[in-house]
Structure 1
Amino acid sequence: MKNILAVGSLAFDTLSTPAGRAEKVLGGSANHFSISASFFNPVQIVGVVGEDFPKEHLEYLRSRGVDTDGVAIVPGKTFHWTGEYGKDLNEAITLSTQLNVFEHFDPKLPEAYVNAEYLFLGNIAPELQMSVLGQVKKPKLIALDSMNFWITGRKDALMEVLPKIDLLIINEGECKLLANERNAIVAAEKVMEMGPKALVMKRGEYGSTLFFQNEIFSAPAVPVRKVVDPTGAGDTFAGGLMGYLAANNAGLD
């Protein structure tokens, strides 16, 4: 099996949903992705946390086969996001974002990570994603996630990264925003022209759609009777996707 390298945020989440409330639980794109991918394949993780990050969280990641040597523990507090969901679990309302040590995150890959064959660039600034690309050797597959904040605030930097990746994983709203297009299919076609070889459009309860080589393939979501907390669902989906591809030594061919 091939190692997967994941670069992104490690955080605390404080959440309120119709099912209840949770204080400072394990969150962040790199955490959600890595735990999911670890069901299929070993994962190496790069991120930063503060001195308040419990050792138990790192031990849990290691118990899942996640290599945490790339996690920097620095003075200060860990990134902390607070949000809530109403009856519509498709949309989170952000109440507080405390970047803390993540504000100065500068990903540096350990030497043992630079030969990773599968790379996931989590939802971080495009400039940091580009920095990571400059440190890896020659991954077989590079996947990238982004969000509205980077699309609207750092679009020029994001446009420089897109031609250098293989797979873009974003949701339908982000795809439309990136393409400045109201129709999802037309938006996907325009995004493909920006450089990625393939696009997976996440569509929540409706599943996901793959755009690749003028082909379109849609997969439904698995029906779930009870949804407690959708936080990190997109990163978890990406982890399962990348984990399966790596476990089967698969690329885009």
Structure 2
Amino acid sequence: MSLAVVGSIALDTVINPFKKAVDVLGGSGTYFSYAASYFNRVKLVGVVGKDFPAKHLQSMKKRNIDLEGLTTADGLTFRWTGEYKFDMNIRETKKLNLGVFADFKPRLPESYKKAKYLFLGNIHPALQLDVLKQMKARPKIVACDTIDFYIKTDYNNLLKVLKNVDICFFNDSEAREISGESNLFKAGKKILKLGPRMVVIKKGEHGCIIISDSWHFLAPAYPLESVFDPTGAGDCFAGGFMGYISSVNKINEEEIKRALIFGTVTASYCVEDFSIDRFLTLNMAKVNERFRDIKKFTHFEAF
């Protein structure tokens, strides 16, 4: 079934102890779309500037990403420069230029307004609400992401968003921030009371948790010997999750668990190279292989 995403498209400069990549393709909407495209066609809503390279547009089109909702505006594309230390969990933003993204007001094409699955990337909560209002029918699943900046600066609108979504994605620090709880299980239960049916809490190299009123499930991160660029891993996680769940006929607890593992898989491939470069050579057979690997190394027989 149809899947739409609203998020940022950016040009990133990423510095790590091994290499520097300049003006590579980035943004939450981008990472989500590449990961989700393994499972479904993705309808992308975003904005770029006149300087956005045509080669990136061609790459997206080849990836089964619908660009009818992508606007090209006068001005420069959103740019971010970040540096990772030897510990890849430590990242410092060196430069940020929002460019045309500063005035971004999502406008959904008519063909997007009946999407059965909708992901609201980590844009301003007021814009997330506006996107919801543009939908002609309530999607089967609405999911959202956010960042700690909006938790601190626009909490009221974020609460309105949470009341209108089925699934929300937080990293561990964001979950603690919005809930006021240090324990992540308590944090998840408290967030459920704000409206969503399920809460996904991402813990980076320590995996993730999904919590609902009646069940919860824990998934490990895929064990990697080399992590090259963690940028966009959380967006790829959400993309793999939503891409898979939008491709199945019936949503139940077991399919949600599978979606969580596919999210883990796509995120694990993302960090193996700069930008979306790993996806350019990654096929579905390799995605399925890593899915089976996770099943194999987490399975055990009970007494």
Percent identity, please. 44
Q: Which has the higher contact order (CA 8 A, sep 6+)?
A: 1
| Consecutive unaligned residues in structure 2, runs of 5 or more | 254-303
1:121-173 Cα distance to aligned partner (Å, 9 max, x none): 00100000000000112211001000101000111110111010000011111
Instruction: Name the structure with the higher strand share.
Output: 1
2:148 maps to which residue?
A: 148
Instruction: Name the structure with the higher helix share.
Output: 2
- State the alpha-carbon separation in 1 of the partners of residues 90 and 115 from structure 2: 34
Secondary structure of the residue aligned to 1:22 is: strand
1:69-128 Cα distance to aligned partner (Å, 9 max, x none): 100001000000110000121232111110010000000000010010110000100000
Is 1:96 the counterpart of 2:95? The answer is yes
Q: TM-score when scaled to structure 2?
A: 0.82
Q: Superposed, which structure 2 residues align to 1:217-228 within 5 Å?
A: 217-228=217-228
**Contact 2:9/2:78 (CA < 8 Å) preserved in 1?**
yes
Deviant stretches of 4+, over 2 Å:
249-253
Q: TM-score when scaled to structure 1?
A: 0.97
- State the alpha-carbon separation in 2 of the partners of residues 175 and 24 from structure 1: 31
**Contact 2:46/2:71 (CA < 8 Å) preserved in 1?**
yes
| Consecutive unaligned residues in structure 1, runs of 5 or more | none
1:53 maps to which residue?
A: 52
Secondary structure of the residue aligned to 1:47 is: strand
1:23-74 Cα distance to aligned partner (Å, 9 max, x none): 0100000000000000111000000000000111111111000000100001
Is 1:76 the counterpart of 2:75? The answer is yes
Q: Which has the larger radius of gyration?
A: 2
TM-aligned CA deviation for residue 3 of structure 1: 1.6
Letter in 2 for 1:193: K
**Contact 1:126/1:161 (CA < 8 Å) preserved in 2?**
yes
**Contact 2:148/2:177 (CA < 8 Å) preserved in 1?**
yes
2:123 maps to which residue?
A: 124
- State the alpha-carbon separation in 1 of the partners of residues 251 and 165 from structure 2: 12
**Contact 2:189/2:212 (CA < 8 Å) preserved in 1?**
no
Q: Would you say how many aligned residue pairs link Structure 1 and Structure 2?
A: 252
**Contact 2:82/2:95 (CA < 8 Å) preserved in 1?**
yes
Letter in 2 for 1:102: F
Letter in 2 for 1:140: K
- State the alpha-carbon separation in 1 of the partners of residues 191 and 28 from structure 2: 23
Is 1:196 the counterpart of 2:199? The answer is no
1:198–1:252 CA distance, 2 compared to 1 (3 A): farther
